[in-house]
Amino acid sequence: MLVCSFGESDKYGEEHPEWFQLVKGRRGPEKAGARFSMCVSNPGLHAQIVKLWRDRGGAAKRDGPCFVNAVENDVPGQCECENCRAWDGPTPPDVNKFYAPNFKVYGARFVSDRYARFLLAVQQLAAKENPNAVVVGYAYLNYFQAPTSGVKLNDHILIGLCPSAGWYPRNDDEHAWYKAQWAGWSSTGARVFFRPNYFLDGYSMPFNFAHQFADDFQSVVRAGMVATDFDALTGQWSTEGPSLYLLMRLHTQPDATADDLLADYYSGFGPAGAQVKAYFDYWENYTMKNRQTITDVFFDRVAIRWRTWAKAAHRVFPPETFAPAEALLAKAAAAAMHDPEVRARVAFLETGLAHAKLCVETASLLTLADPSSTVERGRDKLAELLAFRRKHEREWFANLNHDAWVEDLSWKLATETRQPADYYP
Ligand SMILES: [Zn+2]
The DSSP secondary-structure symbol of 202 reads S
CA 181 to ligand 1 centroid distance, Å: 24
CA 159 to ligand 1 centroid distance, Å: 21
CA 281 to ligand 1 centroid distance, Å: 50
Q: Which whole-number Å values give the CA distances from 36 to 11, 74, 103, 106, 160, in the listed order?
A: 14, 8, 18, 18, 20
Closest CA to 347 of 283, 242, 401, 276: 276
pLDDT of residue 425: 43
Ion ligand 1 neighbours (CB, 5 A) are: 39, 79, 81, 84
The DSSP result for 73-142, as a single string, is: PSS------HHHHHH--PPPTTTTTTS-TTSTTTT----HHHHHHHHHHHHHHHHHH-TTEEEEEEEEGG
CA 122 to ligand 1 centroid distance, Å: 15
Peptide bond connecting 232 to the previous residue in cis, omega within 30 degrees of 0: yes
Strands 133-140 and 66-69: parallel
CA 390 to ligand 1 centroid distance, Å: 54
CA 3 to ligand 1 centroid distance, Å: 20
CA 172 to ligand 1 centroid distance, Å: 37
CA 156 to ligand 1 centroid distance, Å: 24
CA 111 to ligand 1 centroid distance, Å: 11
CA 82 to ligand 1 centroid distance, Å: 7
CA 41 to ligand 1 centroid distance, Å: 6
First-to-final CA distance of the chain: 32
CA 177 to ligand 1 centroid distance, Å: 29
Q: Which residues contact 404 (CB under 8 A, 6 or more apart)?
A: none
Quote the mean pLDDT of the chain.
94
Q: Which residues contact 298 (CB under 8 A, 6 or more apart)?
A: 304, 305, 312
**Half-sphere CA count of 109, side-chain side, radius 13 A:** 16
pLDDT of residue 151: 98
pLDDT of residue 2: 35
CA 20 to ligand 1 centroid distance, Å: 7
pLDDT tens, position by position, 279-299: 999 999 999 999 999 999 998
CA 39 to ligand 1 centroid distance, Å: 4
Is there a contact between 29 and 36 (Cβ–Cβ < 8 Å)?
yes
What angle is formed at CA 34 by the lines to CA 28 and CA 36, rounded to 5 degrees?
45
Q: Which whole-number Å values give the CA distances from 82 to 42, 141, 218, 339, in the listed order?
A: 11, 21, 39, 71
Is there a contact between 73 and 38 (Cβ–Cβ < 8 Å)?
yes
d(CA 409, CA 404): 9
Asked whether residue 64 carries a pLDDT value surpassing 80, the answer given is: no
CA 135 to ligand 1 centroid distance, Å: 20
Q: Is residue 423 very low, low, confident or very high in pLDDT (cuts 50, 70, 90)? A: low
CA 279 to ligand 1 centroid distance, Å: 53
CA 193 to ligand 1 centroid distance, Å: 26
CA 27 to ligand 1 centroid distance, Å: 9
pLDDT tens, position by position, 69-120: 999 999 999 999 999 999 999 999 999 999 989 888 999 999 999 999 999 9
Q: Is residue 424 very low, low, confident or very high in pLDDT (cuts 50, 70, 90)? A: very low
pLDDT tens, position by position, 8-22: 667 899 999 999 999
pLDDT of residue 79: 98
CA 293 to ligand 1 centroid distance, Å: 41
The DSSP secondary-structure symbol of 270 reads G
pTM: 0.92
d(CA 378, CA 367): 9
**Half-sphere CA count of 139, side-chain side, radius 13 A:** 29
Q: Is residue 3 very low, low, confident or very high in pLDDT (cuts 50, 70, 90)? A: very low
